[in-house]
């Protein structure tokens, strides 16, 4: 969906330079993917556009796919951390609402990345494959709320609903291939908040049974 602000303490000079190089490579790749097509762009061309040696790319990324989806890993890792480290007495919905609150409005790179992905059916499939881990992650957290095993069907169904809500709002935000009208960042956050509040009620009802 949108980028996540996970910045913590100030990075040291060495780390800042490494992050700058990583960002430069990612931005150069995105622009080439959009201009020439993902499949038509080579790693050598990305290196030239980023003004780095081809071998430098492999110090930061494993492949073109890794460059394109680099932000997805951060998004999933941050969500997992927030779910795993949520304080006692808080629920999956509480953690998700905090996570949603960390979401920033997508910048031009976010929008360009979505454009590249939506123009390539194979990349759409790869994006969905990367999101597969989201459902069991949520199901495990919901099972903690309910005091059941992580393969409890109720936890799995609620997790599937949460995942569908995030993906649907994301598609609407970026005006995906459906051709529908896009919604603003504020509207998407409000919709997600309403859905999470609805799911909170369902979770509480199940816990009372």
CATH number, domain containing residue 44: 1.10.10.60
| Mean pLDDT to the nearest integer, 67-85 | 86
Domain total for the chain? 2
Same domain, 78 and 38: no
Q: Is the separation of the CB atoms in 61 and 70 below 8 Å?
A: yes
User: What's the CA angle centered on 193, arms 169 and 148, to 5 degrees?
Assistant: 100
Residues 127 and 204 in one domain: yes
Q: Are residues 157 and 58 in the same domain?
A: no
Using pLDDT thresholds of 50, 70 and 90, give the confidence band for residue 3.
Answer: low
Decide: 170 and 128 in contact? Cβ < 8 Å: no
* Domain span at 39: 13-62
Distance, CA of 201 to CA of 6 (rounded, Å):
29
**Which residue in this structure is represented by tokens 């609407």?**
172
Q: Which helix (H) or strand (E) holds 140?
A: helix 134-146
- Looking at the structure, tell me whether residues 195 and 141 fall in a common domain: yes
Least confidently predicted of 47-56, 61-70, 103-112, 127-136:
103-112
123 to each of 63, 129, 175, how far by Cα in Å? 14, 10, 17
């Amino acid at each position: 969906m949108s980028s996540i602000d996970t910045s913590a303490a100030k990075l040291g000079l060495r780390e800042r330079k490494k992050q700058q190089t990583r960002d430069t490579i990612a931005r150069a790749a995105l622009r080439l993917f959009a201009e020439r097509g993902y499949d038509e762009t080579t790693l050598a061309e990305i290196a030239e556009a980023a003004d780095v040696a081809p071998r430098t790319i492999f110090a930061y990324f494993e492949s073109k796919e890794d460059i394109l989806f680099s932000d997805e890993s951060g998004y999933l890792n941050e969500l997992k951390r927030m779910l795993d480290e949520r304080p006692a007495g808080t629920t999956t919905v509480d953690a998700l609402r905090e996570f949603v609150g960390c979401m920033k409005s997508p910048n031009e790179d976010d929008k360009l990345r979505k454009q590249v992905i939506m123009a390539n059916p194979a990349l759409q499939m790869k994006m969905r494959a990367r999101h597969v881990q989201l459902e069991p992650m949520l199901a495990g957290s919901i099972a903690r709320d309910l005091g059941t095993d992580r393969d409890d069907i109720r936890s799995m169904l609620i997790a599937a609903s949460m995942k569908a809500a995030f993906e649907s709002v994301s598609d609407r935000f970026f005006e995906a291939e459906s051709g529908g009208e896009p919604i603003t960042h504020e509207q998407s956050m409000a919709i997600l908040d309403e859905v999470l509040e609805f799911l909170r009620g369902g979770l509480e009802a199940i816990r009372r049974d």
